């Protein structure tokens, strides 16, 4: 576990623009909207014959994943390549860190290769912040998920998906269901939704999967699925993170599905125009039934598509912020 200080002290440059993207907490509505607007400009690239722009041409992006993730790694790699960057995927399990090399040693080695950006995924909360504090100036750090702390690009691709299907955030009731306790995604989603001004944020989970004092984040807490779904405009299901559970927090997966799994029958309690999301990977028959995941209300595949655009936006904005900081220091 890494200690974290105020992230915006290092996350923003002198002009208030991103130079790292570590957490959504503390960022302004204007910054989040800029990310969404920038991502919108990239989202239709997949339909073009040439799917590249030269914004990161000549830059080297290192995907530094200390924790496995197929979907996040793939979309970051594709996003970097569509920005014309050179990409290095570092397999930590076979790297020198498994031979006793410290994290600082690994960073210094990568910096000596003149890397320009680190995309970091780590099982310990605060790891991305730690790296951003110790990395060489002008190297951007993007948090691809750290412990239970934050997953800011996942939250922003979720915000993009909501905005493209619902428009204005202000009137929405958004319900987040599942393993709130272990979910860095839920924390980042809550901060983003609150900053973007949604009418109401709800969390639904058994008591054993709710963090203490979760109400302090500005959410309404429900332990009964039907009550939490009532008139909801957006329902976000979360994966049961069994690998993070250190004790028997659930009687069984079957019992969880019975009470908290999203089915078409339970979805009838939500608004007639409700949309359904899930950050993946999906445990069918545990968090959600296939009829919902593959149904007309599901935006799960849209989330994957939007994830590439959001990560392109964050990477290009952070590199631009780093360059602006570098130019400022050169002028001084």
Query: Residues 23, 31, 72, 75: which is the catalytic one?
Result: 72
121 as an active site residue: the answer is: yes
Residue 136 DSSP class: P
Q: Which of 71, 165, 269, 284 is catalytic?
A: 71
Q: How many CA atoms lie within 13 A of 301 on its CB side?
A: 7
- Residue 280 assigned to a binding site: yes
DSSP states along 49-93:
SS----TTTT-EEEEEESS--HHHHHHHHHHHHHTT-EEEEEEGG
For tokens 């690239």, what's the residue?
45
Query: Does 57 belong to an annotated binding site?
Result: no
> What is the spatial order of strands in the sheet that 275-277 belongs to?
220-222, 200-204, 173-177, 234-237, 275-277
- Catalytic member of 19, 20, 82, 121: 121
User: Which residue of the set 94, 99, 212, 213 is catalytic?
Assistant: 99
As given in the structure block, the two tokens for residue 90 are 């570092």
Query: Does the annotation flag 246 for ligand binding?
Result: no
Side-chain half-sphere CA neighbours of 161 within 13 A? 29
Q: Is 195 annotated as a binding residue?
A: no
114 marked ligand binding residue: no
Would you tell me how many other CB atoms lie within 10 Å of the CB of residue 260? Answer: 26
Q: Is 82 a catalytic residue?
A: no
Asked if 221 and 203 touch (Cβ cutoff 8 Å), the reply is yes
Q: Is there a binding annotation on residue 71?
A: yes
164 labeled part of a ligand binding site: no
Cα-based distances in Å from 217 to 125, 189, 191, 300: 18, 11, 8, 25
Q: Is 81 a catalytic residue?
A: no
239 is in an annotated binding site: yes
Q: Which of 151, 182, 202, 278 is catalytic?
A: 151
Compute CA distances 291 → 15, 28, 155, 239, 240, whole Å. Answer: 48, 38, 25, 17, 19
The response to whether 151 counts as a known ligand-binding position is yes
263 labeled binding residue: no
* Catalytic positions, written as ranges: 71-72, 99, 121, 151
Q: Which residues does the annotation place in the binding site for L-aspartate? A: 99, 184, 239
Q: Which residues does the annotation place in the binding site? A: 71-72, 99, 121, 151, 154, 184, 239, 280-281
Q: Which residues does the annotation place in the binding site for carbamoyl phosphate? A: 71-72, 121, 151, 154, 280-281
């Amino acid at each position: 576990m890494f200690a974290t200080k105020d992230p915006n002290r290092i996350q923003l440059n002198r002009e208030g623009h991103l130079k790292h993207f570590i957490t959504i907490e503390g960022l302004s509505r204007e910054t989040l909207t800029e990310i969404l607007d920038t991502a919108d400009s990239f989202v239709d690239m997949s339909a073009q014959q040439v799917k590249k722009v030269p914004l990161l041409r000549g830059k080297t992006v290192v995907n530094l994943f200390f924790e496995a993730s197929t979907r996040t790694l793939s979309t970051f790699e594709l996003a970097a390549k569509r920005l014309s960057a050179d990409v290095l995927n570092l397999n930590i399990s076979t790297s020198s860190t498994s031979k006793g090399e410290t994290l600082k040693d690994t960073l210094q080695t990568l910096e000596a290769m003149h890397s320009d950006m680190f995309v970091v995924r780590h099982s310990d909360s605060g790891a991305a912040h730690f790296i951003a504090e110790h990395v060489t100036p002008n190297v951007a750090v993007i948090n691809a998920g750290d412990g239970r702390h934050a997953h800011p690009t996942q939250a922003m691709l979720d915000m993009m998906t909501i905005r493209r299907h619902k428009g204005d955030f202000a009137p929405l009731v958004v319900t987040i269901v599942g393993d709130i306790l272990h979910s860095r995604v839920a924390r980042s989603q809550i901060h983003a939704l609150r900053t973007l001004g949604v009418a109401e944020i709800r969390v639904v989970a058994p008591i054993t999967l709710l963090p203490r004092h979760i109400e302090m984040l500005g959410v309404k807490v429900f332990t009964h699925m039907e009550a939490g779904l009532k008139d909801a405009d957006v329902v976000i299901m979360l994966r049961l993170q069994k690998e993070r559970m250190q004790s028997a927090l659930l009687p069984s997966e079957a019992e969880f599905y019975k009470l908290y799994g999203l089915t078409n029958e339970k979805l009838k309690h939500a608004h007639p125009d409700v949309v359904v999301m899930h950050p993946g990977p999906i445990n069918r028959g545990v968090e959600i039934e296939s009829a919902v995941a593959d149904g007309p209300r599901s935006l799960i595949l849209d989330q994957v598509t939007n994830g590439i655009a959001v990560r392109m936006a964050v990477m290009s904005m952070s590199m631009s912020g780093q360059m602006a900081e570098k130019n400022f220091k050169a002028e001084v």
